[in-house]
Structures are given as C-alpha cells and as structure tokens.
Structure 1
Amino acid sequence: MRTFFSTTAMAVLASTLFAGSTAAETENPFRCKPGEKYVMNVMVSGVEYWFPVYEMFKQAGQQLGCETEYTGTPEYDVNKQIATFDQALAQNPAGILVHPMNSDPFIEPINRAVDRGTAVVTFAADSPLSKRVSFITSGHPPGGTYAAHTTAGEMGGQGGYAGLENPGQGKHETRSRAHHTRSEEKWPDMKLVGRAASNQDPTKAYQGLSSLIQANPNLGAVFMPEANSAIGAAQANKESGGKVLVMCADVNANILDMIKAGEVFGSINPNQGMQGYMGFMLLWFAEHPELIDPMNDAKRSGFNPMSIPVVDNGLSIVTAKNADDFYWDKYLKRRGTKGIEE
C-alpha cells in the first residue's frame, strides 16, 4: 500500500522534532557534521524552473548547518545528466536530490549511490524502480487535469483543442496524457483535433501550432507540458489572429510577461519552493534514520524507516491575476539573496 504525506504533515513533523531537540541537557541532533554535504542534480541546468527549488533546498541546508551544491548539465541529454550525477556522487555527499530526465537510465546510478551510503530522493520526475527513498512532486496527472479544467472552463466545455508534446520525456508525456484524458472524459463536446512534437523547442512549437491552426481554423485551445514551447506557440497564435488559448506548465519571466500581456492564457506551476525545502528534509531524515523509530518492521526487514513513497508539494494555476507573485527576481529581492550563485 502506498502512503502519501502532505507537505503540511511533513512540516508539522519537522517542527515537532526541532522543538523536542532543544532541551539544554540534550545535544541538538538537527545539525550537520563538518563537511556534511547535500547536492541537487537536474537536467538542463540553465532552466529557470530549478532556481526556486534550489533556493529553498539551500535554505533548509543552512538552517541545519549543512553544505549544499547545485549541479546538472546544460544539455538535453540523459547520459550527460548521469555523468554530472556521478561527478556529484564522487564527492561522497550525504544525499542527492535528483530530477531524473528518464526513469530507467537512472535506476543503476541511483542504486549505486544508495549502495554506497548516499541517500537519494527524486523530485518532479521519478525513477520508481530504483532504490530512491522518496519522491516529491505536485503530481503530473493533476497538473494536466487542472490545465484541462482551466481551458475547458474558459471554452464553455465545447470546441477543439490540440497538444504540443515532448515524446520520450516521462513527466511531460504524463501531463499531456492526463490533460487529454480528462478533457475527453469530462467534456464530450470537446475534441482533440491534433498533436505535434515540439520537444521544448520554440521554433518547433511555432511550426507545429501554425500547422494545427491551418488545419483547424476554429481551434480553441492548445496545451503543452512545459514553458519553452509556449513561446513559439504564442507567436503562432498571434500571427493567426490570437483566438487560441495557449496553456502550458511551469513559468519563467518570459512566460509571466506573456501571461500578463494576454499572449499566453495560463500555466500550471508546481510549488517549487516546497519541492526544494521538503526535498532536503526528506534527504536529511533518510541520512539520519536513527532519529526515527516507527512502529513497523523496519529493523527486522532492514529498510530505511524514513521511506515515504510520495510527498505532494502542491501546485498553482498562474493567470494574469496572480502572475506578479511568480517572478524569480522579485522573489530574490524579497528574500535578500542571490539565488544559485550563493
């Protein structure tokens, strides 16, 4: 049976443990040893989505006196990401929070890390057959489902919609499938009239949506499971009269500007800060299982008592009404930090 814990429950657990560790006669167990380090590893490291995740990953580390590092590859290549994962592992970190580009290729690297004593937690994308101890996400099916509700509500549950997709990228395929399935089940008067592969490339998205609009002049909406494709899609929509609701997932400054300008209708955005903060805390507990003595068979079976299969970090629907709350530069200014540079 899979057990799901909300971020609220995890926060209460953490605060309770912190409170219980402050007795004067007891050494605080919630402090890192000198040199204890935790690493975050991602694909396409320059994508702005990761920055708020690492910001809160870093803050959690600072609160416990730990070292943290941001790593990844600038290229869309699973083998190159695995190489950066192995480079991080060579530093013998206490834990690695990883977003695996694809699940199966990461099974062996994650298992090797765990066997060497490095805790591994996945976030935003999973490798469920590996030995990772936890997975934190907003849930990709819910992301696609909420996107379907948002556009269908605007369209009155009627009309044609299309999809720009990224074949081979697990989480994107899941989001797109959930969007299309929900639309088909909930709104029988809405039809999926076409799909095109954009592969996170604005130029391919522009070409794909232009062709879809030409073939379906009354197209009402298009969904894509990430942000980069929305740049090209918005341009194609603008040149075709601007009648298509462009709905994506994730945000960055360009997408937020386009949402405020009405060029992109909206975006589904996971709660990035909670991904990073709770991701770090899950790693911490996984690395320090002696702090946990659950009433189960952990000692008999030898598995890590911190094993929590899934933590839901929540998500937001970003529209013109709330877009100002999601700018990275405004967030850093509010926090008084320099982001991943620190």
Structure 2
Amino acid sequence: MSKLSERVIFALLAGVLPLLTGCTRHSKSEHYYLITVNVDLPYWKTAEAGFLKAAFVLGVTAEMLGPKNFDPQAEADELHSIIARKPAGILVSVTNPKLLGPQIDAAVAAGIPVITIDSDAPSSHRLYFIGTNNLQAGRLGGARVAAMLNGKGNVVFFTMPGQPNLDERLKGYKDVFSGFPGIKVVEVFDMKGDAGLAMDKAAEYLGRKGADRIDALVCLQSSAGRDVGESLRRVEANGDPGRLLVTMDTDEATLQLVKDGIIDSTISQKPYTMALMGLKALDDIHHYPVKPLGEDYELDPFAPYPSFIDTGVLLIDKTNVEGVLTRRETAGQE
C-alpha cells in the first residue's frame, strides 16, 4: 500500500471513528429513573410515555417508579432505594420538599444527577426544574374564573396543601382574586390525593343554598377534575345549573367533560415533554459531567445549567377542546 493510500485511509478513519463513537456512547446498562406518586394516573402515564420515548431514542434503560397512591413518605423511601443502585440519573416530582429534599441532596452528593419535574424542591441540590410555571397557571385560571363570575361569587378549591406546585397554583388564583373584592374564597379543601373524597365534598358544596351557595369550584390537582365534574353533572341533571368548574390537565375524561359543557375549562400542562426533556438532559449530564455536581448554580451567571425550563400552559375550553382530543387520539394517549 502506498504512503498516499495509507494517509487517505487514516484520514477517513479519523473522521468516521468519532461519529461511530458518538453513536454508540449509550448502552442499556445506563439506567434512568422517574420517581413520583399516583403512578397509575393518566397524567403520569403520559409522562412515562415521554420518558420511555427518550430512552428508546437514546438506547438506554428507563423506568418510572413510586407508590400507586398519594404517599410522600413512600416516594421518599423509593428514592432512597434507587440511590443505592447508583443509576445514571433521576427525575423526581416533589410531593413534600422536607421529605424529598434530603434524599435529592444525598443522590447528588453520591454523584447522581437529579432534575425535578412537575413539582420542585428549590432548596435542594437538584440541578434544575423542568415543568409548568405554576404561578402563571394559577393566574390563567384565576382570570378565567373572575371573568366568568363577572368579578363576584363564592369559590372553593380542591388541592393538597404543602405540595409545592399546587401551592403555587393557589397563590396565582389568589393573586388575581385580590383585584376582585366581590370574589370570596370560601374554603381550600385538602383532598389528600383521593379523587373520591373530592367527589363527595363537591356534592356537599353543591348542596349549599342562598348566601352560602358555591358559584365556582376549582381543581388544582389532575385527578379531581373528572370526579368533581361528575358531581356537577348530577346536580345539573336535576335542574340546578350555573356552577363554574375549572380544572387541571388533559386526561380524556376531563376533556370530554369540557366538550360536554360540564367543565368550563381546564389548564393544560405537558408531562410528556417534561419527562422527555428530563431524560435527555440527565443523559447529557451523565456523559459530560460538571464538577462539582452539587454546587449552587442558582446565582452563577456562567452556570452550565438553567434554573428552570418552562414547558408551558394552555387554557382549553369548548373552542379548542376538539383539537386536543384529536391530537390525543393521534398520539395514542388514553
């Protein structure tokens, strides 16, 4: 072989080998986890689909774990057990910062990158948060309620106090209501992660008459919308219309109630996008680590990571619900 031929072959290899290496940097031995609660909810099944899609594209292993009910302690225990496995990275939705924060810090101290999605723990050493601007979501819902009530009426909320994303939504609603002295927040009901409990309480609210009549019901948590909506449907079937219901998220049952006019509107989030972006971000951090991993990058103008990636919100009502239902059907979501 001539010297020229050898040089040509060497040059080709020098150009091709990095590309081949880049294509094969991943392996199934790289394991990523998404930790949350209520894992069987449609909301989290949608997030899991995004998580698994990213894993398929990258050629890595991904798994969503957590309790099937709303149990922050069980979620913290799950995270603790996952840390011991030394995974390539962890996504976590924070139900209780006091319980989850120390576990997040322990993971980062062990060299495991952690990104929060859906609900944040800003005081922890998580690298950053991917999800909804929940204050904005609450303000969007609050503006809708204020407009539909013409600035006057009694309002109740269904939520789980102490969960950061839900608390931010409630604050957003109250920010808007502060400009409408005719709107009164009668009660903030702790549904304890139980949609059935929310449904029963809704029936009690809807039975109030006179000055105690409830004019608007707001569900700050995904699973409550469908069941509170069914309570409202029964009341309206008995000839007592005129109650406003605003909910969160886009499971098929909620969207159908919007289409039927039982739910006035729902605030859409993007759990699929949160988990898809989250795994890709973890993968990048795993292969191109920054040291020290646990440094406080919040105030660093040259930080390698953002503080927050906003995946967006949208108000869905009868004017645009058909398009969302069609997109869900196309995507194969249930």
What TM-score, normalized to structure 2?
0.81
1:117 is matched with: 111
Confirm or deny that 1:196 pairs with 2:189: yes
- Which range moves more in the overlay, 188-197 or 313-322? 188-197
Bigger Rg, which one:
2
1:34-45 alignment, distance < 5 Å: 34=27, 35-45=29-39
Q: CA deviation at 1:266?
A: 1.5
Matched-pair contact (CA < 8 Å) for 1:98–1:120:
yes
1:58 is matched with: 52
Q: Structure 1 vs Structure 2: percent identity of aligned residues?
A: 19
Matched-pair contact (CA < 8 Å) for 2:94–2:163:
no
Per-residue deviation, residues 311-331 of structure 1 (Å, max 9, x unmatched): 111112122333344459x64
Query: Paired residue for 1:85, among 66, 69, 79?
Result: 79
SS, match of residue 282 in structure 1: helix
Q: Gaps spanning 5+ residues in structure 2: where?
A: 1-14, 298-302
- Paired with 1:142 and 1:258, the residues of 2 have a C-alpha distance of 24
Equivalent AA in structure 2 for residue 192 of structure 1: V
Q: CA deviation at 1:198?
A: 2.6
Count of residue correspondences: 306
Pair 1:251–1:25, CA change in 2 (3 A): same
- Which range moves more in the overlay, 260-269 or 236-245? 236-245
Per-residue deviation, residues 83-141 of structure 1 (Å, max 9, x unmatched): 22233333321101111211111122111211222110001111222211111111211
Per-residue deviation, residues 211-252 of structure 1 (Å, max 9, x unmatched): 434154653312120133233432443416131111111232
Pair 1:222–1:115, CA change in 2 (3 A): same
Pair 1:151–1:289, CA change in 2 (3 A): same
Matched-pair contact (CA < 8 Å) for 2:130–2:311:
yes
1:247-326 alignment, distance < 5 Å: 247-289=246-288, 306-326=304-324
Confirm or deny that 1:173 pairs with 2:172: no
Q: CA deviation at 1:157?
A: 2.8
Pair 1:212–1:180, CA change in 2 (3 A): farther
- Paired with 2:24 and 2:81, the residues of 1 have a C-alpha distance of 25
1:200-211 alignment, distance < 5 Å: 200-211=193-204
Pair 1:172–1:54, CA change in 2 (3 A): same
- Paired with 1:124 and 1:107, the residues of 2 have a C-alpha distance of 15
- Which range moves more in the overlay, 143-152 or 281-290? 281-290
2:205 is matched with: 212
Q: Gaps spanning 5+ residues in structure 1: where?
A: 1-22, 293-297
Matched-pair contact (CA < 8 Å) for 1:176–1:224:
no
- Paired with 2:296 and 2:287, the residues of 1 have a C-alpha distance of 13
Matched-pair contact (CA < 8 Å) for 2:39–2:45:
no
- Paired with 2:213 and 2:74, the residues of 1 have a C-alpha distance of 42
- Paired with 1:334 and 1:260, the residues of 2 have a C-alpha distance of 18
Confirm or deny that 1:225 pairs with 2:220: yes
Matched-pair contact (CA < 8 Å) for 1:200–1:227:
no
What TM-score, normalized to structure 1?
0.79
- Paired with 1:76 and 1:206, the residues of 2 have a C-alpha distance of 16
